Structure 1
Amino acid sequence: MSPYLKDLWIGAIWGGTKLIWHARNKKTFKDHIITMDKKKRKWSKLFHDTAFLSKGRMYNNQSNLGILRSLGLPLHPSKSAVIKTCSWELPGKGEIKINTDGAARGNLGKGGIGCIFRDCKGNVLGTLAKGLGLVTNYTAECQAIIHEVASAASNGWLIAWVESDSKAAVEAFNSDNIPWNLETEWGNAKKSMKQIRISSNWREANFSADKIAKRGAHMHDGLCEIEVGRPAFLRKIEVPMQEYFRFC
Structure 2
Amino acid sequence: MIVWAIWKERNKRIFKELAKTVELVINDIKASIEEVIYGRSRNVSKFKFNDWDMEMERNWSLKNALFHYPKNRINRKEVRWEKPQNNWVKLNFDGACRGNPGQAGFGAVIRNKEGNVVSGTYGYIGHATNNEAKIRALEVGLLLCKEIGLTNIQVEGDSQIIINGVTNDKLLNWKLSKWLLHIHSLLQAIKPYEITHILREGNKVADLLANLGVNSQVVEVTVIPMALSPEVTDLCRKDLWIRKTEGVG
Q: TM-score range by the shorter chain?
A: 0.5 to 0.7
Show the counterpart of 2:239.
239
Distance 1:145 1:84, change over 3 A: same
Deviation, 1:134, is 1.5
Q: Does 1:202 align with 2:199?
A: yes
| More strand, by proportion | 1
TM-score by length of 2: 0.59
Q: Does 1:182 align with 2:175?
A: no
Counterpart pick for 1:89 among 77, 82, 95? 82
Deviation, 1:83, is 6.1
Secondary structure of the corresponding residue to residue 236 of structure 1: helix
Deviation, 1:191, is 3.3
1:169 counterpart letter in structure 2: I
Secondary structure of the corresponding residue to residue 239 of structure 1: helix
Q: Which runs of 4+ in 1 moved over 3 A?
A: 240-243
1:227 counterpart letter in structure 2: V
Contact 1:87/1:241 (CA < 8 Å) preserved in 2? no
Deviation, 1:228, is 1.3
Distance 1:241 1:163, change over 3 A: farther
2:83 counterpart letter in structure 1: L
Deviation, 1:187, is 3.3
Matches within 5 A, 1:27-42: none
Distance 2:204 2:177 in 1: 29
Matches within 5 A, 1:136-151: 136-151=129-144
Q: Does 1:116 align with 2:109?
A: yes
Deviation, 1:121, is 1.2
Distance 1:232 1:146 in 2: 23
2:121 counterpart letter in structure 1: L
Deviation, 1:87, is 2.4
Distance 1:236 1:152 in 2: 21
| More helix, by proportion | 2
Query: Between Structure 1 and Structure 2, whose CA radius of gyration is higher?
Result: 1
Distance 1:125 1:169, change over 3 A: same
2:239 counterpart letter in structure 1: V
Show the counterpart of 2:164.
171
Greater relative CO (CA pairs within 8 A, separation 6+): 1
Q: Which runs of 5+ in 1 are unaligned?
A: 1-81, 244-248
Deviation, 1:201, is 1.3
Q: Does 1:101 align with 2:94?
A: yes
1:101 counterpart letter in structure 2: D
Q: Does 1:159 align with 2:128?
A: no
Distance 1:154 1:187 in 2: 16
Contact 1:89/1:241 (CA < 8 Å) preserved in 2? no
Q: How much is the aligned-residue C-alpha RMSD, in angstroms?
A: 2.1
Show the counterpart of 1:226.
222
1:236 counterpart letter in structure 2: L
Can you list the C-alpha shifts for 1:113-167, whole angstroms capped at 9, x where unaligned?
0011100111111221011122111111111111101110110112211111112
Distance 1:173 1:216 in 2: 23
Distance 1:240 1:149 in 2: 24
Distance 1:98 1:183 in 2: 18
TM-score by length of 1: 0.59
Deviation, 1:202, is 1.5
Deviation, 1:241, is 9.1
Distance 2:146 2:207 in 1: 22
Quote the sequence identity (%): 24
Secondary structure of the corresponding residue to residue 158 of structure 1: coil
The aligned length equals 161
